[in-house]
Structure 1
Amino acid sequence: MKITTTKFGEHEGNTVYSYKLENNQGMSISCITLGCIITEIQTPNQNGEIENVVLGYDDVASYLERTNYFGAVVGRVAGRIDKGEFELNGQQYSLPQNENTNHLHGGPNGFDRQVWDAELIETESEVGVEFSYLSKDGEAGYPGNLTVKISYLLNNENELHIKYYATTDKDTLVNLTNHTYFNLSGNVKKDILSHQLKIKSQKILELNNDFIPTGEFLNVESTPFDFRDGKEIKEAVLSEHPQIKLVGQGIDHPFLLDENHNEEIMLADKESGRKLIIETDEQSVVVYTSNMLDESFKVRDVQSKKYLAICLETQGLTDSIHHPKFSPCILKVGEEYKTTTKYKFTTI
């Protein structure tokens, strides 16, 4: 196993470094200090052919030009906060609105746009990088100096472990996730409509017209959102269900997970034979079938379009600060925010 460090570019006077983590099985993960972005994941198909299975760019400018959050860590709070405001400990806080009236993924200058510090990790069993960032009190409207550490660790079992850690000096909100777009066909040969998706989830969050949770849980049984037995993604996104049509004929919904660390999320592509198994500490996974991608740009040499990839964002429930029956994403002084998600790349 080894790590290769190169210069990726610059942002606001800071050098952006790229780290390529390689194991002994031919798998590699490339990530950069801008937004902890995962730029490539190279994995073998059923014939041993190694190809990239995520969307990304090869330069800093492309990541900054668009707000699709390819491969990035988003925060302080992933997802949408209704009207960009919340109350905590009797005080009202206002956040920048960057999606109509919503505050989305930490705002227009969130964690995905920051250059993080990095330390390399090399042991007998894994290679990785630990990113760190101090989000200062008042940044993007949030209270507290928030110290954040994100680790990407690759082992010889073709497993990527993402570990999130944060502490604060004032009570604040934290709900972190990674926003990688997966396409297991290899080098984006096709869209993900024929990918098989399986999720151990009986309930999703219903969304209103602003894509904010209504607070109601919908049972997936007899709906397009029932992935408990696994099915092709197109069976869901091509349906006439009002929640599918609401978000642009696709999925952009939190699924409440029934289990943790027991192969609760699985994505597979029969043609390439690749399979991704995701296990997490988190309460939910936001499934996004890239139904909002437009056709005005290219992802490397591939034309952007709907359903080009799928995001599987493990996180706490969206907009939980406004819903008392959700588990809150409040981090208190003296507490630690700690969560891990594992991505295992294998074949069918």
Structure 2
Amino acid sequence: MRKAFMSTALMALCATHAMPALAAEASQQAAGTLDDGTQVTSVTLTADNGVSATILSFGATLWKFMAPDRDGKVADITLGYDDLQSYKDKPNYWGATIGRYANRIGNATFTLDGKTYHLPANDHGQSLHGGGKGFDVQNWKVETVKSGPVASAVFTLTSPDGDSGYPGTVKARVTYSLDEKGELKIVFDATTDKPTIINMTNHAIFNMAGEGAPQGAMDNVLTVPASHYTPVSATLIPTGELADVTGTPFDFRAGKPMHEGLRDGTDQQILYGRGVDHNFALDKGLTKTPELAARLEDPASGRVLEVLTTEPGVQVYSGNFLDGTFVGKHGHLYRMGDGIALEPQKFPDAPNHSNFASARVDPGKPYRHVMIYRVSVER
């Protein structure tokens, strides 16, 4: 018995040495310069299973996200531009880190501790994705880049007190990490020296058939574990209500092609958004560890994306305002329905709705949002 045990152990040891552990690699290179001469860097994280993510320091932007299909064919599953110049000249949030406050704030104002703060307003009179010079159009510092069982890149940015109207000096950090299985984790951390509001997310727009696929993204099958969503006004600001999705185009609990219900002109919410452009109140609520917020699958290629988050909501946007004027990667003309955004977040306009989870952040109580993009293949 002892001899057999030793033989088995030796075989296991040999097998271990014959099959080296999987690893993920990180590399960086120059990606261009800004008008003031500031160098922009790109970092590529690559896993052994063919998944890779390239991040631009400009906007801490998920620039490329490559994933194989069931036949091993690799495609970029995120919309965007080929070059830095286009991100500078025609910013459209694609893949960018959003802050200080992701999504919309009604009337571009909020009140904190009895003081009202005014933010830069868009042509609808609201603040969108931070307003002014948001995190998406600033060049982040590349702090560290590491290879290993998990490849990672850390980006940092300091937003001064009063930046775009927000109180407090905020020190923000975004950590992208890719493991050997191809799971991309994004961690948003921030501290402040004054009470403020923070709501950070990534604004990638996906097509699991591959960006620029001629059929668009509306055949992608979407699942969202949310029995309620937040209806909006004509200017897409939440009314404060949590509405049941049952019997509406917003019921994605069992999974359905994205196109189902998008042309339902009898639903006022669909009319307001020109499709789906709404926040879903996840049944899981606010959690300490990331849990499922959405699942997106392209049945034809087999590519699957699962989005996990610690936040209580996810904004689903069906690419309704892509109007054919955006020339994206590989010269592809992006049209309505060519991509789907899945943005984990606090609820839109939460600072103006006491029944929504608070976005308040205080000194000594850091902000953290952990989200995961998990890609796989359905055989």
Note the aligned Cα RMSD (angstroms).
Answer: 1.2
1:271 maps to 2:300: yes
1:209 maps to 2:239: no
In structure 2, the residue matched to 1:183 is 207
In structure 1, the residue matched to 2:25 is 2
Tell me, yes or no, if the aligned pair for 2:99 and 2:200 is still in contact at 8 Å. Answer: yes
Distance 2:129 2:371 in 1: 19
- In the alignment, residue 368 of structure 2 is paired with which amino acid? K
Tell me, yes or no, if the aligned pair for 2:351 and 2:359 is still in contact at 8 Å. Answer: yes
**Pair 263,329 (structure 1): closer, same or farther in 2 beyond 3 Å:** closer
1:136 to 126, 150, 160: 160
2:351 to 303, 315, 321: 321
Greater mean deviation of Cα atoms: 283-292 or 113-122: 113-122
Larger radius of gyration: 2
> SS at 1:243's partner residue?
helix
> SS at 2:231's partner residue?
strand
Tell me, yes or no, if the aligned pair for 1:53 and 1:188 is still in contact at 8 Å. Answer: no
> SS at 2:240's partner residue?
strand
Q: CA deviation at 1:4?
A: 2.1
Residues 85-134 of structure 1 deviation map (CA, whole Å, 9 limit, x = unaligned):
11111212111112420110011310001000012342532101111000
Distance 1:151 1:279 in 2: 16
Q: CA deviation at 1:280?
A: 0.9
Tell me, yes or no, if the aligned pair for 1:118 and 1:131 is still in contact at 8 Å. Answer: yes
In structure 2, the residue matched to 1:221 is 246
In structure 1, the residue matched to 2:16 is none
Q: What count of residue pairs does the alignment treat as equivalent?
A: 347
In structure 2, the residue matched to 1:113 is 137
In structure 2, the residue matched to 1:246 is 272
In structure 1, the residue matched to 2:60 is 36
In structure 2, the residue matched to 1:194 is 219
Distance 1:156 1:48 in 2: 17
Q: CA deviation at 1:225?
A: 0.3
Q: CA deviation at 1:174?
A: 0.2
Structure 1 gap segments, 5+ residues each = none
1:54 maps to 2:74: no
Q: CA deviation at 1:58?
A: 2.1
In structure 1, the residue matched to 2:282 is 257
Structure 2 gap segments, 5+ residues each = 1-23
Tell me, yes or no, if the aligned pair for 2:319 and 2:337 is still in contact at 8 Å. Answer: yes
In structure 1, the residue matched to 2:372 is 342
Distance 2:124 2:186 in 1: 31
Tell me, yes or no, if the aligned pair for 1:224 and 1:236 is still in contact at 8 Å. Answer: yes
Distance 2:62 2:291 in 1: 25
In structure 1, the residue matched to 2:11 is none
**Structure whose residues are more often strand by fraction:** 1
Residues 229-273 of structure 1 deviation map (CA, whole Å, 9 limit, x = unaligned):
00001002122211011112x111000011264434100001111
Distance 1:69 1:23 in 2: 26
Distance 1:187 1:288 in 2: 16
In structure 1, the residue matched to 2:126 is 102
2:185 to 161, 177, 196: 161
In structure 2, the residue matched to 1:299 is 328
What fraction of aligned residue pairs are identical, expressed as a percent?
A: 34
In structure 2, the residue matched to 1:237 is 262
- In the alignment, residue 274 of structure 1 is paired with which amino acid? R
> SS at 1:263's partner residue?
strand
**Pair 99,61 (structure 1): closer, same or farther in 2 beyond 3 Å:** farther
Residues 21-66 of structure 1 deviation map (CA, whole Å, 9 limit, x = unaligned):
1111121100110001111111100101111110111222211222
Distance 1:262 1:302 in 2: 34
Distance 2:357 2:74 in 1: 40
Tell me, yes or no, if the aligned pair for 2:291 and 2:308 is still in contact at 8 Å. Answer: yes
Q: TM-score scaled by structure 2?
A: 0.89
1:88 maps to 2:118: no
- In the alignment, residue 254 of structure 1 is paired with which amino acid? N
